[in-house]
Structure 1
Amino acid sequence: MIPRKAAIIDMGTNTFHLLLVNLHAGDFTTIYKEKIAVKIGQGGISNNTITQEAKKRAFHTLQHFKNLIDGEGIREIFAFATSAVRSAENGSQFVTEIKEKFNIEVQVIDGLQEAQLIYEGIRFSGSLSAENHLMMDIGGGSVEFIIGNEQESLWKQSFEIGGQRLLDLFHYHDPILPEEISNLTLFLEEKLTDLLDAINTFSPTGLVGASGTFDTLSDIYYASQQIKKAKTEQTFLLPRVGFELIAEQLLNLNKSERLKIPGMIPMRVDMIVVASCLITYILKHVAVDTLTCSNFALKEGVIAQLIGKNSLEGASLN
């Protein structure tokens, strides 16, 4: 039987991801994957707009993705846009232009749909157990928090406090100044009251970080321990003590010094500073010795839906 092929495009605020897959009964194999730092939030996210320069980068990347999709003869394309597009006043015009130029139908999903897909991706990775976990995905525009277990998500919410927004608001000096960290922390206290209430209600005992920043943090930790990451694994463990040492380093180094850290990648070098401040804040409220880092996130949540490994609650691929 010829496998069903699909392309998933995740148009994040910072990074565009492409995933080409063969879908099987209950599983998938990757044909090709790529991520490009498009930064569509740069220069405009604080003003709720997508700038012309950002649009140009997005179209250039989507043309490249479309060439790869066509090269594989893939007809099923599932494209999703998140925080930067949903909050931009010219977001719907942007999506219309993509349809006209590339014949790609982009679904602009809301924060709860995004959180649900992230949950399904994390569950698919095998990162969860019967105990309640707090899950988080730090995007450029928003951060999704989910509390749940391997059976179900119990609570989820999206907060417009992503890395690009925090950079624009607080990170003016390099290295970041102590007062900038204090201001950022006060801002999080103000914005995350719903999350703290949910933590008190559901008492998560584990913390899972999805993709992005957490991939890079675990890469840095593994490099520091001279351990090679297994390509077949979807879940990596980062001891809290290891994270705290890395975070301290990130806060005290400038950009060129951060770039020299083994495991660091250029597309994360700016945002990882404010993201580490956010994780540090969360760790004050969730007592864990180990952070679980899941390679799977939104894209794999979409695959979980396509192959029927989910409950179809809260987000759909219509």
Structure 2
Amino acid sequence: MRVAVIDLGTNTFHLIIAEKAGKELEILYKTNVPVKLGEGRINDNIIIPAAFERGINCLKDFSQIIADYQADKIRATATSAVRSAENGKDFVDAVNERTGITIETITGDEEAELIYQGVKLSGAITDLSLIMDIGGGSVEFILCDTETLIWKKSYNIGAARLMQQFFKSDPINDGDKNAILFHIQNQLTDLFNICEKHQPKMLIGSAGAFETFAELIIRENYLKADINTAKTFAFNFDDYIASSIKLINATHKERAEMPGIIPLRVDMIVIAALITNYVLGRSKINSLTLSTYDLKMGVLASLI
């Protein structure tokens, strides 16, 4: 059976086509496109016309690729940017009319569940863990152990939202940093209550920004790891902290010149580092692992 999964993120649209033969799963095709659906007015809950058209054009291309691969099943899921936008349904309807793709707009809870299923497939969960997925529109947290999903929640504190609202300086100044951290602190009260009760031992970063953190550290330390093929990557905690502080203190130009940062993440990686460091500190976690498997792999698992 051949399946296609489309993940319509706030920043990036992903397409995976895979085939199941017996118990084995083979990835036949994989791509991502920086559509930036949340550009400009995500906090006003609007998909601006230019982003609207970029999204449709990307999905036209995806539709053709899926047809070429003759997939038996297709599942397309939309997350924060579409579910919170006043014209989100207009976008879903326009995509269906112009590309034939039916989009399922999932809730934050459903998103967190699928992220958990994807991370679980990677084998990253080896202890009581807090999974964190930093998207452009929302951030999902999942508390789990090797057997059980204990608690999950989605928060509207994604990197694109916080960047548009608070990130006005270069390099980011103390005023902007403090505004971001104050906002995060107010939003995540129940998360830290849960962490205080259960005391997770590890933070598992789900793909996205955590792949960028890993890529920077791999290149800087000449490690042999390859996150394009690895399912997981265990960070040296001190290396991560040093790298994150360097990113936060750098200018836009300095970050843009760092090998390993894709253009889309040059500024959003600062937000990701601030959120991650705050969560690590408040939850007293000093172990960090990357899972390259995330929501789209969870969706893939649900199909096969």
Tell me which interval the TM-score lies in, with the shorter structure as reference length: over 0.9
Q: Indicate the larger mover: 136-145 or 175-184.
A: 175-184
Q: Is the 8 A contact 2:201 2:287 kept in 1?
A: no
Match status 1:190 vs 2:186: yes
Is 1:53 the equivalent of 2:50?
yes
1:240/1:288 contact within 8 Å kept: no
Deviation for aligned residue 1:259: 1.5
Instruction: Note the alpha carbon deviations across 1:72-104, whole angstroms, 9 max, x for none.
Output: 112411100000000001111110111111111
- Shift of the alpha carbon at 1:290? 2.8
Partner of 2:176: 180
Q: Residue in 2 aligned with 1:203?
A: 199
State the aligned residue count: 303
Q: 2:96 aligns with which of 96, 99, 102?
A: 99
TM-score calculated relative to the size of structure 2 = 0.97
Counterpart-to-counterpart distance in 2, 1:203 and 1:24: 40
C-alpha contact (below 8 Å) 1:132/1:204 kept by paired residues = yes
| Runs (5+) with no aligned partner, structure 1 | 308-318
TM, length-normalised to structure 1: 0.93
The residue aligned with 1:288 is 285
State the match for 1:123 in structure 2.
120
1:28-177 superposed matches below 5 A: 28-129=25-126, 131-177=127-173
Q: How far off is 1:228 after superposition? A: 3.0
The CA distance in 1 between the partners of 2:156 and 2:287, in whole Å, is 26
**CA-to-aligned-CA distance 1:3-50 (integer Å, 9 cap, x gap):** x11110000001100101112344411111111110100112111011
Unaligned runs of 5+ residues in structure 2 are none
Q: Deviations 1:213-232 (Å, cap 9, x if unpaired)?
A: 00010000111111132454
Q: Which residue of 1 aligns with 2:251?
A: 254
Shift of 1:174: 1.4
Check if 1:265 corresponds to 2:262: yes
Q: Check the 8 A contact 2:131/2:204 in 1, yes or no.
A: yes
* Bigger shift: residues 298-307 or 269-278: 298-307
> 1:306 corresponds to which residue?
303
Aligned-pair Cα RMSD in Å: 1.2
Runs of at least 4 residues off by over 6 Å:
none
Match of 2:225 in 1: 229
**What SS does structure 1 have at the residue aligned with 2:283?**
coil
Match of 2:3 in 1: 6
Does the Cα contact within 8 Å between 2:218 and 2:225 map onto a contact in 1? yes
Per mean C-alpha deviation after superposition, the further-off stretch among 292-301 and 228-237 is: 228-237
